[in-house]
């Protein structure tokens, strides 16, 4: 068994050096799967209930304007959950908030299955969104805080890539559960979305708190225990940290913590302002395009292209499967290519894909364009989730990720609503996708012009310290 090497660096820096020096092993892979399953259940719920609501829009004859609000309901909750979770996780810890948010989602998803009106559906969908929005905003920064720079991009991208499994699973379940009897199938779908989360909650009992968060809180001994646990599981024999006489075995006085307002203000202080502007624009554009496309595609195929509900679901399943190579390519390139250029390349691919859809003259061309758009837009998520987690210091990392995710949800809210009203006003299928092209072009320009570089840099080097931003 190998042994950690002592160092003359300050204890906190020495501990982080030990964490960053570990060769990723069993504990890192376990966290990746735990976090990845959270993303899987997020996308599974979003896609399956999107199919269910799309069917109800047709069956209940819901007007397109109202339908846009219903399809966006989950994102109102996402917005609130992501913003609150980011601030609260930087104050109370990543682990506690991740477990609580899953419990909220599970309860509200089950209650959603009891709805008997559009209003009830909307309310429970919003509340379920609070839980899942909080959960998904915290996974990437949590995983990133355990990983060294040399493999951080690959591991976080693989974790985000679990999103594709949820979309595929929803595409398989929807024709089996919803299509035969949409009037009752959507209620069964709500239960199916909630039950696996209970198993994930049970498994996550053993999740450790982030050592970087613990050190930022002055909880050194707890951080040491977590790092030593990871070292042992990776086959490394821990060594004692140097301590000041009289302090061995104790933690220093807890560090003063900035208020929630100070944390949010720190996102716009000094050099962080440009970073936040870039990140918020990216999340708004790419999340808006992704969910505007995925939430309306089944309905538009039925109402504009004459597809049956079952055929539209199968079409959407093919586009979901197309996400897998998009994520896979991102995991192969993310540690070999600067993040900002990879995001720009994916956004450019999505722009071309949206143009193919807008100009399609056959079902085959439409399927090719939709599959490519799904691959590029979702593959980009693997990169910008990682990118965002790297750009903020530990003390406001979850706040920064949560705020960015919340802004992304604003895009996810506005895109389906806007598409609903544009469609109701007579805008064609092609024109709607040209609208998405324009949004993607904005995202490309912003990241190319203003995006900072992060590839290959330790988390402490990729962003300024909290004292510089709050």
Higher pLDDT, 438 or 372: 372
Instruction: Answer whether residue 184 shows pLDDT above 50.
Output: yes
Instruction: Answer whether residue 249 shows pLDDT above 60.
Output: no
Is residue 234 in a domain?
Answer: no
Rounded percentage of the chain residues whose pLDDT exceeds 90: 5
Strand partners, 237: 3
For every residue of 416-454, DSSP letters joined together read HHHHHHHHHTT--HHHHHHHHHHHHHHHHHHHHHHPPP-
Is residue 201 in a domain?
Answer: yes
Is residue 198 in a domain?
Answer: yes
Which H or E element spans position 141?
Answer: helix 118-144
Instruction: Answer whether residue 37 shows pLDDT above 60.
Output: yes
Higher pLDDT, 308 or 216: 216
CB count in 10 Å sphere of residue 311: 17
Which residues, including other chains, have CB under 8 Å from residue 289's CB and lie 6 or more apart? 350, 354, 377, 411, 415, 436, 439, 440
Mean pLDDT of 38-67: 81
Closest CA to 457 of 369, 386, 360, 367: 386
Is residue 112 in a domain?
Answer: yes
Cβ neighbourhood burial of 460 (10 Å; 0-12, 13-18, 19+):
middle
Which residues, including other chains, have CB under 8 Å from residue 248's CB and lie 6 or more apart? none
Position 265 scores a pLDDT of 78
Position 172 scores a pLDDT of 86
Query: For residues 436 and 453, what is the distance between their CA atoms, to the nearest angstrom?
Result: 27
Position 323 scores a pLDDT of 87
**How does residue 7 score in pLDDT terms, banded at 50, 70 and 90?**
very low
Position 259 scores a pLDDT of 62
Instruction: Answer whether residue 309 shows pLDDT above 80.
Output: no
Helices 118-144, 94-112: inter-axial angle, 10-degree rounding: 160
Position 470 scores a pLDDT of 46
Instruction: Answer whether residue 439 shows pLDDT above 80.
Output: no
For every residue of 2-65, DSSP letters joined together read EEPPP-SS-HHHHHHHHHHHSPP-HHHHHHHHHHHHHHHHHHHHHHHHHHHHHHHHHHTT--HH
Tell me if 288 sits within 8 A of 408, measured CB to CB. yes
Is residue 243 in a domain?
Answer: no
Instruction: Answer whether residue 345 shows pLDDT above 60.
Output: yes
Tell me if 121 sits within 8 A of 45, measured CB to CB. no
Instruction: Answer whether residue 5 shows pLDDT above 60.
Output: no
The 3-class secondary structure across 61-99, one letter per residue, is: CCCHHHHHHHHHHHHHHHHHHHHHHHHHHHHHCHHHHHH
Instruction: Answer whether residue 305 shows pLDDT above 60.
Output: yes
Is residue 173 in a domain?
Answer: yes
Which H or E element spans position 100?
Answer: helix 94-112
Query: For residues 435 and 433, what is the distance between their CA atoms, to the nearest angstrom?
Result: 5
Domain residue limits at 56: 2-214+259-468
Instruction: Answer whether residue 454 shows pLDDT above 70.
Output: no
Query: For residues 374 and 381, what is the distance between their CA atoms, to the nearest angstrom?
Result: 11
Strand partners, 3: 237
Position 10 scores a pLDDT of 58
Mean pLDDT of 329-343: 88
Closest CA to 66 of 117, 124, 111, 133: 117
Tell me if 198 sits within 8 A of 74, measured CB to CB. no
Position 256 scores a pLDDT of 55
Mean pLDDT of the chain: 80
Position 29 scores a pLDDT of 92
Is residue 249 in a domain?
Answer: no
Handedness of CA 170, 172, 177, 181 (dihedral sign): positive
Higher pLDDT, 141 or 313: 141
**How does residue 247 score in pLDDT terms, banded at 50, 70 and 90?**
very low
In this prediction the pTM is 0.75
Instruction: Answer whether residue 455 shows pLDDT above 70.
Output: no
Instruction: Answer whether residue 242 shows pLDDT above 80.
Output: no
Instruction: Answer whether residue 468 shows pLDDT above 60.
Output: no
Instruction: Answer whether residue 1 shows pLDDT above 60.
Output: no
Mean pLDDT of 95-115: 86
Is residue 448 in a domain?
Answer: yes
For every residue of 281-297, DSSP letters joined together read HHHHHHHHHHHHHHHHH
CATH code, 444: 1.20.1250.20
Instruction: Answer whether residue 139 shows pLDDT above 50.
Output: yes
Q: What is each CA distance from 310 to 54, 399, 416, in whole angstroms? A: 11, 41, 21
Position 329 scores a pLDDT of 92
**How does residue 467 score in pLDDT terms, banded at 50, 70 and 90?**
very low
The total domain count for the chain is: 1
**How does residue 3 score in pLDDT terms, banded at 50, 70 and 90?**
very low
Position 30 scores a pLDDT of 92
């Amino acid at each position: 068994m190998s042994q950690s090497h002592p160092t003359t660096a300050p204890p906190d820096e020495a501990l982080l050096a030990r964490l960053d020096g570990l060769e990723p092993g069993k504990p890192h892979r376990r966290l990746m799967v735990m976090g990845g399953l959270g993303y899987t259940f997020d996308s599974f719920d979003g896609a399956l209930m999107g199919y269910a609501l799309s069917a109800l829009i047709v069956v209940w004859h819901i007007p397109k304007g109202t339908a846009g609000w219903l399809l966006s309901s989950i994102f109102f909750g996402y917005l609130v959950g992501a913003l609150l979770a980011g601030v609260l996780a930087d104050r109370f810890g990543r682990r506690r908030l991740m477990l609580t948010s899953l419990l909220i989602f599970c309860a509200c998803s089950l209650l959603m299955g009891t709805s008997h009106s559009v209003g009830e559906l909307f309310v429970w969908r919003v509340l379920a969104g609070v839980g899942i929005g909080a959960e998904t905003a915290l996974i990437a920064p949590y995983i990133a805080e355990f990983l060294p720079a040399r493999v951080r991009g690959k591991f976080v991208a693989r974790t985000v890539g679990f999103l594709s499994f949820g979309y595929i699973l929803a595409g398989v379940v929807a024709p089996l559960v919803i299509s035969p009897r949409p009037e009752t199938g959507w209620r069964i779908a709500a239960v199916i979305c909630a039950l696996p989360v209970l198993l994930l909650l049970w498994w996550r009992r053993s999740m450790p708190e982030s050592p970087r968060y613990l050190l930022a809180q002055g909880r050194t001994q707890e951080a040491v225990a977590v790092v030593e646990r990871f070292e042992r599981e990776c086959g490394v024999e821990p060594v004692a940290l140097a301590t000041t006489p009289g302090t061995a075995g104790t933690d220093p006085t807890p560090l003063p913590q900035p208020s929630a307002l100070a944390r949010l203000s720190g996102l716009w202080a000094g050099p962080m302002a440009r970073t936040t502007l870039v990140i918020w624009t990216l999340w708004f554009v790419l999340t808006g395009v992704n969910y505007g496309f995925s939430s309306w595609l089944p309905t538009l195929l039925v109402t504009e292209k004459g597809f049956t509900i079952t055929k539209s679901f199968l079409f959407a399943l093919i586009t979901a499967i197309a996400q897998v190579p998009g994520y896979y390519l991102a995991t192969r390139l993310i540690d070999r290519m600067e993040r900002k250029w990879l995001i720009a390349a994916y956004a450019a691919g999505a722009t071309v894909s949206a143009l193919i859809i807008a100009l399609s003259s056959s079902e085959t061309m439409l399927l090719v364009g939709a599959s490519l758009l799904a691959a590029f837009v979702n593959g980009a998520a693997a990169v910008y989730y990682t990118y965002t987690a790297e750009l903020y210091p530990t003390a406001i990392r979850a706040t920064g990720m949560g705020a960015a995710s919340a802004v992304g949800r604003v895009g996810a809210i506005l895109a389906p609503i806007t598409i609903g009203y544009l469609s109701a006003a007579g805008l064609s299928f092609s024109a709607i996708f040209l609208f998405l092209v324009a949004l993607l072009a904005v995202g490309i320009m912003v990241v190319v012009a203003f995006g900072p570089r992060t590839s290959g840099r330790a988390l402490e080097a990729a962003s300024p310290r909290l004292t510089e931003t709050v």
